[in-house]
């Protein structure tokens, strides 16, 4: 199977599709780590991990098993492993600690990409309800974010990680980072699916040679209840997506993934089911969508943000729109 490949700003290659591993609130972590093994055997090479997903030690067992098995053709250098520093580990001391813990858990000597998971230094407990306001929650403050970023740069300079990146950023936040950083982010992980295309942020990233990695590429049909609001739609049920899928004899999920790869982002769909893992991989290796279909899919965008991050609200930001700088200026 010929899988797509993209390139990062220094020319390094990155697989054009990856596997998401945030399933800890729906599946036993061992189910997720078994899916990682199945996925690698099938041909997935990019695995999107995070400390907060609570399954890095089990995924580490799998990575160790794969890389140590001399009969398995997959070597460490064939894999592209991503991890992320969680909101409770920002700042001068904790970024290093968090990265070395992820390396230990994942049983790796280096990460291919290390990401600041959210731009907010705060904490929320597992299963927090949507209206949860954590007294420890902290707003985004550029100077504080830069303290975290400086540590990310050190990790890169010291060789613990090959690339550093951001996630859940907005254009105003990225503008400030780009102005003050020594090392530019190689990638920005952001919500991207046909009903939430974020064209301005997407174009901004591409102009700066920051690769967009698209999370929830299928519209996260089984995302945590706490992130849902009644007006949420699942993009896989969109008429345009389903009619294109019918024309090609595909599943709507496969159309979402073809669209993502052809648009220029790296989708990281999550699944623990063998059939779906394979169908997602086959989608991006098969016949592409036509230019007309790609144009038609642009019309599906309804600015429908699914992952609102409302559990990170603090007293000064009572509305989830504040987190995304939608209500006005950058939140401080
Ligand atoms: N940086 C961030 O802040 C952030 C935020 C959210 C997500 N992420 C990353 O992005 C990854 C993916 O996002 P996500 O899990 O929210 O959403 P998603 O990948 O859009 O959706 C995952 C769900 O879609 C279902 N699915 C997968 N393939 C399918 C297919 N071919 N046909 C039908 N259904 C299919 C899966 O069902 P089953 O459960 O039945 O397998 C799974 O529950 C996460 O796992 C995580 O790694 C990052």
Q: For the segment 241-293, what is each residue's pLDDT rounded down to a tens digit?
A: 999 999 999 999 999 999 999 999 999 999 999 999 999 999 999 899 999 99
Average pLDDT over residues 93-116: 97
Domain count, the chain: 1
Token duo for residue 115: 């990401």
List the structure tokens of 66.
């794969």
| CA-based R_g, the chain, Å | 19
- 329 lies in some domain: no
Q: Tokens standing for 117? A: 């998971």
Least Cα distance to 232 among 126, 310, 133, 318 occurs for 310
Q: Quick one: DSSP state of residue 330? A: P
Confidence class of residue 235 from pLDDT cuts 50, 70 and 90?
very low
Pick the more confident residue, 331 or 230.
331
pLDDT digits (tens, 9 = 90+) for 287-314: 999 999 999 999 999 998 999 887 777 7
Give the single-character DSSP code of 30.
H
CA-nearest residue, atom 44 of ligand 1: 20
In the chain, the percentage of residues whose pLDDT exceeds 70 is: 90
When pLDDT is averaged across residues 66-72 and rounded to a whole number, the result is 92
Which of 3-7, 39-43, 152-156, 304-308 is predicted with the least confidence, judged by mean pLDDT?
A: 304-308
Q: Is 205 contained in some domain?
A: yes
pLDDT digits over 177-227, tens only? 999 999 999 999 999 999 999 999 999 999 999 999 999 999 887 665 545
CA-closest residue to ligand 1 atom 47: 20
Residue 187: partners with Cβ closer than 8 Å, 6 or more residues away? 8, 14, 113, 115, 163, 165, 166, 210, 211, 212, 213, 266
- Quick one: which atom of ligand 1 is closest to the CA of 309? 3
With bands split at pLDDT 50, 70 and 90, how would you rate the model's confidence at 233?
very low
Average pLDDT over residues 5-31: 94
Name the maximum alpha-carbon separation found in the chain: 57
Q: Is 258 within the bounds of a domain?
A: yes
pLDDT at site 122: 77
Position 138 scores a pLDDT of 76
Ligand 1 near 279 CB (within 6 A): yes
pLDDT attached to residue 226: 45
70 three-class SS = coil
Angle 87-138-203 (CA atoms, 0-180°, nearest 5)? Answer: 65
Query: How far apart are the C-alpha atoms of 322 and 66, rounded to whole Å?
Result: 43
Cα 22 to averaged position of ligand 1 atoms, centre (Å): 7
Mutation choice for ligand 1 from 87, 169, 221, 238, CB with most ligand atoms inside 8 A = 221
Q: Say how many Å lie between the CA of residue 246 and the centre of ligand 1.
A: 22
pLDDT > 90? residue 232: no
Give the catalytic positions in this structure.
53
From the CA of 140, how far away is ligand 1's center (Å)? 27
- The CATH number of whichever domain residue 63 belongs to comes to 3.20.20.100
CB distance 194 to ligand 1 below 6 Å: no
Tell whether ligand 1 has an atom less than 6 A from the beta carbon of residue 237: no
DSSP state of 328: S
- In ligand 1, which atom is closest to the CA atom of 193? 20
In a domain, 330, yes or no: no
| Distance of CA 142 from the midpoint of ligand 1 (Å) | 30
Ligand 1 center to 130 CA (angstroms):
20
Would you say the CB of residue 223 lies under 6 angstroms from ligand 1? yes
CA–CA gap between residue 264 and residue 286 (Å, rounded)? 16
Which H or E run includes 177? Answer: helix 171-180
Q: Is there a contact between 214 and 270 (Cβ–Cβ < 8 Å)?
A: no
Cα 292 from Cα 311, distance rounded (Å): 39
For the segment 12-32, the average pLDDT, to the nearest whole number, is 93
Conformation bin of residue 328: beta by default, left when phi > 0, alpha when psi is -120 to 50: left
* H-only helix segments in 191-331: 199-207, 239-248, 252-263, 274-285, 291-298, 320-323
Q: Is residue 272 a contact partner of residue 24, using CB atoms and an 8 Å limit?
A: no
Map tokens 């943000």 to a residue.
Answer: 305
Q: Which domain holds residue 310?
A: 5-323
pLDDT over 50 (residue 234) = no
Residue of 56, 271, 320 to mutate, ligand 1, most atoms within 8 A of C-beta: 271
Query: Is residue 332 domain-resident?
Result: no
Whether 269 lines ligand 1, by a CB cut-off of 6 Å, is yes
């Amino acid at each position: 199977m010929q899988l797509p490949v993209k390139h990062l700003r220094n020319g390094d290659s990155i697989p054009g599709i990856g596997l998401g591993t945030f399933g800890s609130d729906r599946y036993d972590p061992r189910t997720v780590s078994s899916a990682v093994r199945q996925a690698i055997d099938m041909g997935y090479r990019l695995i999107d991990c995070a400390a907060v997903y609570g399954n890095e030690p089990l995924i580490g067992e799998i990575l160790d098993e794969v890389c140590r098995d001399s009969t398995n053709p997959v070597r460490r250098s064939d894999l592209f492993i991503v991890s992320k520093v969680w909101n409770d580990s920002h700042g001068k001391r904790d970024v290093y600690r968090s990265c070395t813990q992820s390396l230990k858990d994942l049983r790796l000597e280096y990460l291919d990409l290390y990401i600041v998971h959210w731009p907010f230094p705060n904490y929320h407990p597992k299963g927090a309800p949507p209206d949860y306001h954590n007294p420890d929650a902290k707003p985004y403050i550029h100077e504080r974010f830069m303290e975290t970023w400086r540590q990310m740069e050190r990790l890169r300079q010291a060789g613990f990680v090959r690339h550093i990146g951001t996630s859940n950023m907005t254009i105003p936040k990225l503008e400030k980072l780009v102005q003050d950083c020594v090392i530019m982010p190689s990638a920005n992980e952001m919500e991207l699916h046909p009903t939430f295309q974020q064209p301005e942020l997407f174009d901004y990233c591409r102009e700066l040679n920051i690769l967009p990695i698209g999370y929830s590429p299928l519209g996260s049909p089984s995302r945590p209840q706490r992130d849902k609001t009644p007006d949420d739609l699942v993009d896989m049920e969109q008429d345009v997506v389903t009619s294109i899928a019918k024309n090609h004899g595909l599943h709507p999920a496969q159309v979402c993934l073809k669209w993502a790869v052809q648009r220029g982002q790296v989708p990281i769909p999550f699944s623990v089911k063998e059939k779906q893992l394979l169908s997602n991989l086959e989608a991006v290796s098969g016949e592409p969508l036509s230019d007309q279909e790609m144009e038609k899919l642009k019309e599906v965008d309804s600015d429908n943000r699914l992952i609102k991050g409302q559990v990170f609200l603090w007293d000064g930001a009572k509305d989830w729109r504040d987190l995304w700088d939608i209500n006005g200026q950058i939140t401080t």
